[in-house]
Amino acid sequence: MEAKKRIFSGIQPTGNLTLGNYIGALRNFKLLEDEYDCLYAIVDSHAITVRQDAAELRKACLRTMAIFLASGLDPEKNILFFQSHVHQHAELAWILDCYTYMGELSRMTQFKDKSKKHADNINCGLFAYPVLMAADILLYQTDLVPIGVDQKQHLELARNIAERFNSLYGGTFAVPDGYFPKVGAKVMSLQEPTRKMSKSDPEETYIAILDKPEVIRRKLRRAVTDSEADVRFDPELKPGVSNLMSILSALTGASMDAIAADFSGKGYGAFKDAVADAFVAVLEPIQKRYDEISADKVYLEKVMLEGAERADRLAAPTMRKVRKKVGLAPTKL
């Protein structure tokens, strides 16, 4: 029997996970768990490249784990864990730093963007962030990494580092490929529909997974459309309406033509109400399950500890191989 291919993906715990995170990532993660060996990390070490309130970050980590579980991810079929609980991530990142060039990192667009946003804290961790991301992936001999357009540059760097290391020392790392989900939609900002919905933007620009129905309806009523009152899919001329149509299609399975026909002549009020109804129908069951899981601290801790142990067992052989190849002293004689 052919071994399953391995998938790795990480999500930062900071900010509120959005509808975009659900459609683009969490919902698709659930669809992969029977076909692939899947590891999903809450990448809390990445989060501290920006100053965080310690207590709030710990809460955010647990909240994100609870959302993973509430979204349907089975901790028996998937390895769910906190990045910082598996020490090999940091260990491998340091070694790979020594095989990554300054020029490669200085070209990374995320470093340029975050340096502008956090001009008072342009730290070494922010600069080397993509190497830790490469370590996250390569540590587990990952075959496939679910990515969007904005992550292609990071995956390409991980591939380059793996190939460079392999050429020096022989086959050590699997060279990962991108995985592009069959089911999904690019979810754009409610206020700037030419930009991707982001949990780091102001709250009125996104729908959070934990937003209550009245909040969802308020945000949808304020969502940017245009002055035509014509529900038609045209991303160039009608980006706001097209964004809402894409989301509605992703949540309900309805085609763009069917959505346009359903709301022909009804105006944007009825259209936005229907989009809000679809949001609520999808998110309410997740929120109910989230409340149950969040209240069960014993269960959360069990998932957290078992996930870290399983990830550690997979990471250890890679680290032993890497340490030997670069000449570090063995831990046992």
* pLDDT of 25 strictly over 70: yes
In a domain, 142, yes or no: yes
Regarding whether 96 and 245 lie in a shared domain, the answer is no
| Residue-wise pLDDT tens digits, 253-304 | 999 999 999 999 999 999 999 999 999 999 999 999 999 999 999 999 999 9
Regarding whether 209 and 151 lie in a shared domain, the answer is no
Predicted confidence at residue 184, as pLDDT, reads: 57
Predicted confidence at residue 180, as pLDDT, reads: 82
In a domain, 117, yes or no: yes
pLDDT class of 199 with cuts at 50, 70, 90? confident
Regarding whether 266 and 248 lie in a shared domain, the answer is yes
Residue 196 annotated in active site:
yes
* pLDDT of 246 strictly over 70: yes
Regarding whether 71 and 160 lie in a shared domain, the answer is yes
Predicted confidence at residue 112, as pLDDT, reads: 75
In a domain, 196, yes or no: no
| Residue-wise pLDDT tens digits, 133-145 | 999 999 999 999 9
Q: Which residue has the higher pLDDT, 111 or 102?
A: 102
Regarding whether 207 and 253 lie in a shared domain, the answer is yes
**Entry field: residues in the chain:** 333
- What range defines the domain where residue 246 resides? 203-292
Regarding whether 232 and 150 lie in a shared domain, the answer is no
Choose the catalytic residue: 196, 219, 238, 272. 196
Residue 238 annotated in active site:
no
Residue 199 annotated in active site:
yes
Spatial neighbors of 146 by CB under 8 A, at least 6 apart, are 7, 9, 25, 28, 29, 178, 179, 180, 181
Amino acid sitting at position 100: T
The pLDDT > 70 percentage for the chain reads 98
Regarding whether 131 and 65 lie in a shared domain, the answer is yes
Cα(63)–Cα(57) distance, rounded to whole angstroms? 10
* pLDDT of 203 strictly over 80: yes
| Residue-wise pLDDT tens digits, 28-78 | 899 899 999 999 999 999 999 989 999 999 999 999 999 999 999 999 999
Choose the catalytic residue: 5, 114, 152, 325. 114
Choose the catalytic residue: 116, 182, 186, 199. 199
As given in the structure block, the two tokens for residue 51 are 């100053």
